[in-house]
């Protein structure tokens, strides 16, 4: 995991300078959030999915970094006063607290659009495969995915929604990009239909487990390890797996989702060991 994080970070540093051509403040804002750290989970999952399907996933590191651009954009926008109104992210002041709301919004916009520029700049992947990758990412980031999920999230504030509505919300807002990461890795590896279906099942269960454990950490996590204050869900009057089910039941559901994710990869044998370990890690993660 550490080696893959370093690989992604090294690739990102090759991309950063391209941000500086037009406007230094915009570039500074973009790079501020891109370089703020994090687990680089989505690009790593893309490469790991390609590995599971029998290809060297590290060959697709640049495309994987495009997912980090999309993820970072979503964090910048999610932290805005009109959204979750958070002051800290990954232990640092959120983007709008440093650069102001307007620049933060535009930095997010620039990161999102630049992601597709990065993908189309790769000339080592067949054009028809790249088109599938672009379609997959666009769908996950748009109205049926992250953006649509964020709207449902905002509409759900100060309301008690049911567990099915909560799943719908997070399968779009959080789960869609995890699913895209895994599916794009499989597409780049030219996986079989059976492999793609198995990896998609894994991604959906992983996304569910990730969100449940995120909700759990917001209740029992450590501020310093999480990088932002705990209790933000309660502050924003949001329904969570913990508030709807109880802490104990949420923990059991997270364990069941992880077990399902691991089982979905049985057809791959040893090539999916890393993805299986990644799912199990969710049950013990501290940030």
The predicted-structure confidence for 208-218, as pLDDT tens digits, reads as follows: 999 999 999 98
pTM: 0.93
The predicted-structure confidence for 59-94, as pLDDT tens digits, reads as follows: 999 999 999 999 999 999 999 999 989 999 988 999
Provide the pLDDT for residue 191: 97
Query: For the domain with range 2-281, which CATH number is right: 3.40.470.10, 1.10.600.10, 1.10.3720.10, 1.10.1040.10?
Result: 1.10.600.10
Residue ranges of the chain with pLDDT lower than 70?
A: 17-22, 221-237
Give me 74's structure tokens.
């979503």
Q: What is the largest CA-CA distance in the chain?
A: 51
């Amino acid at each position: 995991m550490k080696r893959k994080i370093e690989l992604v970070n090294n690739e990102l540093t090759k991309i950063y300078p391209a941000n500086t051509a037009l406007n230094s403040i915009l570039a500074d804002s973009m790079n501020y959030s891109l370089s703020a750290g994090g687990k680089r989970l989505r690009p790593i999952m893309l490469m790991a999915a390609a590995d599971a399907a029998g290809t060297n996933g590290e060959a697709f590191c640049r495309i994987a970094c495009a997912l980090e651009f999309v993820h970072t954009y979503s964090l910048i926008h999610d932290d805005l006063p009109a959204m979750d109104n958070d002051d800290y992210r990954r232990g640092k002041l959120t983007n709008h607290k440093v650069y102001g709301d307007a620049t933060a919004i535009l930095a997010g916009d620039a990161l999102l659009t630049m992601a597709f520029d990065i993908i189309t700049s790769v000339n080592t992947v067949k054009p028809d495969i790249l088109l599938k990758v672009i379609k997959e990412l666009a769908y996950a980031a748009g109205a049926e995915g992250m953006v649509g999920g964020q709207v449902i999230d905002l509409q759900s504030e100060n309301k008690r929604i049911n567990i099915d509505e909560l799943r719908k919300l997070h399968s779009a807002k959080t789960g869609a990009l995890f699913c895209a990461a895994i599916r794009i890795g499989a597409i780049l590896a030219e996986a079989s239909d059976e492999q793609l279906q198995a990896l998609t099942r894994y991604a959906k269960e992983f996304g569910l487990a990730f969100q449940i454990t995120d909700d759990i950490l917001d209740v029992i996590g450590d501020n310093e390890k999480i990088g932002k204050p705990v209790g933000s869900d309660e502050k924003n009057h949001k329904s969570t797996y913990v508030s709807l089910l109880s802490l104990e039941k949420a923990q059991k559901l997270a364990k069941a989702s992880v077990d399902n994710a691991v089982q979905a990869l049985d057809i791959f044998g040893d090539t999916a060991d890393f993805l299986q370990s990644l799912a199990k890690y969710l049950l013990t993660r501290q940030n």
